[in-house]
Amino acid sequence: MKVGLVSDTHGFFDARLENLLTGVELILHAGDVGDQEVLEALERIAPVRAVRGNVDPAHLNLPQIVTWKLGQIQFEVLHQLPATQTELEKWADHKGENRPGPLGRNAFLQSFGPGTRVVVFGHSHQPCLLALDGKLFVNPGSAGRQRFSLPRCCGWR
């Protein structure tokens, strides 16, 4: 199954997403959707499972987390990780310390379901793909209007 990954559209649907995501069977949106029109435009491409981002209005009725299985692989989709993306990158590079408590590496990993193998997240607008203790962490970056000097992007697999 081919899955499209988007995040941080902030109310902007780029028409190029139609071509980029052609052939996907499901789109996972990692939050900060912005408005219903973005969800409707994505739904014309493929079914969408979206989570609520920190700036999404309540009337979109999006869950904070979506857990989904593709065969034997369990996915968790959320907008903001319980640690920063920078901290995650340090842990993956074995440069970060394993502090005890809510910001520690072990506590971070335990915050996900025991069967979760792929975590899709957003919030930082920075694309990210890395593995940590048998879990793959994917941030498709921002598919909305360009902000800061970060690239606009999406993903699929």
Which residue has 């435009």 as its token pair?
A: 41
Give residue 45's identity as a one-letter amino acid code. Answer: I
Q: pTM of the full predicted structure?
A: 0.92
What is the distance between the alpha carbons of residues 107 and 80, in angstroms, rounded to a whole number?
Answer: 16
What pLDDT band is residue 95 in, cutting at 50, 70 and 90?
Answer: low
Please, where are the H alpha helices in 21-148? 36-43, 85-92, 105-110
Q: Among residues of the chain, what percentage have pLDDT more than 90? A: 76
What pLDDT band is residue 93 in, cutting at 50, 70 and 90?
Answer: confident
Beta-sheet strand order (sheet of 155-156): 48-50, 26-29, 3-6, 155-156
pLDDT score, position 100: 52
Domains along the sequence of the chain with CATH: 3-146 (3.60.21.10)
What pLDDT band is residue 99 in, cutting at 50, 70 and 90?
Answer: low
What is the distance between the alpha carbons of residues 51 and 5, in angstroms, rounded to a whole number?
Answer: 12
CB 80 within 8 A of CB 123: yes
User: Kind of pairing, strands 48-50 and 155-156?
Assistant: unpaired
- Average confidence (pLDDT) over 68-72: 90
Can you point out the beta strands (E) in the chain?
3-6, 26-29, 48-50, 65-70, 73-78, 116-120, 128-132, 135-139, 155-156
Structure tokens at 114: 């025991």
